[in-house]
């Protein structure tokens, strides 16, 4: 059965810290891996990764995919209280049609 | 440039009633997806629709649940004869094509009394 596992489940850090969130997967017919940030409302899109070893960067956030070891990491540097959210990892895999399989998320809390 | 719009934001129903959840995709997006999120769980795929067609409903319970995306108007997720276990957040997402990132709405939180 296809699965996506995120770790840690939750994390508490202080402003200015750097955090690394992990996402590992076991799926058949992988197409892409996506990261979303979910605060109280809609998950908002962060990154879409399709190729191994190519880092995607947006401000203080960056992410990379390893298709050989089947995982991705999301890094956040110089964390701010506004980074507090649940970070969701989704893998797009073929099961009939291509669909997203989500992990349970990592709940990040950044303290002032 | 409105994003995905879902309504209502909160819906309360008694057991046995019907729940109708609406989703208007981003303008120009013809692919719509519905997900269910239970407390402390990840989003679970339910159904994938394009205009007037159900493409993949493999995540939908076989009974009481149905979805449509008519030629005009929003996509509707319909739950008949609701039970307590249907209480969850239901999210809709849309994309312009089938292989571009999905953009999510704020969700409808369904509570069953």
Set of chain B residues whose Cβ sits within 8 Å of the Cβ of A33: none
* pLDDT tens sequence across A40-95: 889 999 999 999 999 999 999 999 999 999 999 999 999 999 999 999 999 998 87
pLDDT band at B97; cut points 50, 70, 90: confident
**B57-63 — which CB contacts under 8 Å span 24+ positions?**
B58/A95, B58/A96, B58/A99, B59/A99
pLDDT band at B41; cut points 50, 70, 90: confident
Mean confidence (pLDDT) of chain A: 94
Q: Which residues of A touch B (CB under 8 A)?
A: 4, 31-32, 34, 36, 41-45, 48, 88, 90, 95-105
Set of chain A residues whose Cβ sits within 8 Å of the Cβ of B95: none
pLDDT of residue B2 exceeding 90:
no
* SS3 state at B28: coil
How many interchain CB pairs under 8 A, A with B?
55
pLDDT exceeding 90 applies to what percent of chain A?
A: 86
pLDDT band at B1; cut points 50, 70, 90: low
* pLDDT tens sequence across A82-110: 999 999 999 998 877 888 999 999 999 99
Phi, psi of A81 (to 5 degrees): -60, -30
pLDDT of residue B37 exceeding 80:
yes
pLDDT of residue A23 exceeding 90:
yes
pLDDT computed for residue A14 by the predictor: 97
* pLDDT higher at B72 or B22: B22
Compute the distance between CA of residue B4 and CA of residue B23 in angstroms, rounded to an integer. Answer: 7
Burial class (CB in 10 A: 0-12, 13-18, 19+), A108: buried
Query: What are the respective helix, strand and coil percentages of chain B, to the nearest 5?
Result: 5, 50, 50
pLDDT of residue B4 exceeding 70:
yes
Chain B residue with Cα closest to A95: B58
pLDDT computed for residue A8 by the predictor: 97
Residues 6+ apart with CB under 8 A from B16: B81, B82
């Amino acid at each position: 059965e296809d699965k996506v596992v995120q770790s840690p489940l939750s994390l508490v850090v202080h402003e200015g810290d750097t955090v690394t969130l992990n996402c590992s997967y076991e799926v058949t017919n992988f197409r892409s891996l996506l990261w979303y940030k979910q605060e109280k409302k809609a998950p908002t899109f962060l990154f879409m990764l399709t190729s191994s070893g190519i880092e995607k960067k947006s401000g203080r956030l960056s992410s990379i995919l390893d298709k050989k070891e089947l995982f991705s990491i999301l890094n956040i540097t110089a964390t701010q209280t506004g980074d507090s959210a649940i970070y969701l990892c989704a893998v797009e895999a073929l099961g009939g049609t291509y669909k997203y399989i989500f992990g349970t998320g990592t709940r990040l809390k950044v303290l002032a | 440039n409105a994003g995905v719009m879902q309504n209502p934001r909160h819906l309360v129903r008694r057991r046995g009633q019907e729940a109708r959840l609406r989703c208007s995709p981003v303008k120009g997006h013809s692919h719509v997806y519905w997900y269910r999120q239970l407390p402390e769980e990840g989003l679970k795929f339910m159904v994938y629709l394009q205009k007037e067609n159900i493409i993949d409903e493999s995540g939908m319970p076989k009974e009481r649940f149905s979805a449509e995306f008519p030629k005009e108007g929003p996509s509707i997720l319909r739950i008949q004869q609701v039970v307590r276990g249907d209480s969850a957040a239901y999210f809709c997402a849309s994309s312009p094509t089938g292989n571009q990132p999905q953009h999510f709405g704020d969700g409808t939180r369904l509570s069953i009394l």
